[in-house]
Amino acid sequence: MLALGAAYVVAARKQETWAPGRTTAFLAGLATIVLVTCSFLGVYDTTLFWIRATQNTVLLMVTPLLLALGAPITLLMRTAPPGLASWLRHHGRSPFARFLTFPLTVTVVLIAPFLIIYLTPLYALALDHAVVAGVVRVLVVVAGFLYFYSRVGLDPTPRGGSHLVSMWISFTEVVFDGALGLVLWLGPLLAPAHYATAHPGWGPDPRTDQVIGAGVLWIGGDVAGLPFVGALFVRWVRDDEKRAKQVDERLDEEADSGEAPTGGLWWQNDPELAERLRRR
């Protein structure tokens, strides 16, 4: 994390117009990884169920959002050698990249990690093998970053983002979080043999521990997603204001030049809406 943070800061300092807020967000994202893997959350992540649940929630919903707000792809493309930058531009517009950023794809990418982790033998395997646990953490962060990268829109993406689609994806994620929380709350204990052996002799019993963890995944995941929904709403409003200003400027220019339409309904005179109507 120190190496990534240092590389980002060095690259950002080479950009005269790079916003300090982006640097702060990216470094905060790296700090959350250190927090959940090196603090008490890292020490007891194989001892208590709710600790691992907190760790996974942060790595999927908080860390990737902060990293995406740092616009690392844009920074990399600006500072990378010409060959690497050209390679990134070429593959960033490839059919595979368009498939990865398709709304249905990113919805599955956001929802699938927790379902796979908690509803398959992978959870018990990650508890007993540190290498597996490390790979799972990396994949969780990558999955979250792919989603937020494609929806935040600060980095170049092969698809245009729709704010309404992002809202629906967030709503879908809330539904699946609730379903998973209920399954873990009311269902059988996960990895009971492991937790029976690893229980420290203090703290909640295994059943209560899993109930708390289910609440973290359910409520904690939804709360962690609120900043993104808020940022998305603000960006939505700003984009609408920007578009309205552009339309007003174009109409003023047409009126000054005498090219303004003299008839027709207002939506027929709007270029974007007129194009949509012609398609239908």
Q: Give the C-alpha distances (Å, rounded to integers) separating 220 from 23, 50, 116, 123, 183.
A: 26, 11, 19, 19, 16
Per-residue model confidence as pLDDT tens digits over 58-76: 999 999 999 999 999 989 8
- The answer to whether position 121 is within a domain reads yes
| Range with lowest mean pLDDT among 6-10, 33-37, 183-187, 195-199 | 195-199
- The answer to whether position 149 is within a domain reads yes
- The answer to whether position 261 is within a domain reads no
Backbone angles phi, psi at 39, to 5 degrees: -90, -165
- Domain range for 83 is 2-243
Select the more confidently predicted residue: 193 or 243: 193
CB atoms within 10 A of CB 50: 21
- The answer to whether position 250 is within a domain reads no
- The answer to whether position 164 is within a domain reads yes
- The answer to whether position 271 is within a domain reads no
Per-residue model confidence as pLDDT tens digits over 141-177: 999 999 888 877 777 777 666 666 666 676 777 777 7
Mean pLDDT (whole number) for 194-222: 87
57: pLDDT strictly greater than 80: yes
- The answer to whether position 172 is within a domain reads yes
Per the structure, the count of domains in the chain is 1
- The answer to whether position 248 is within a domain reads no
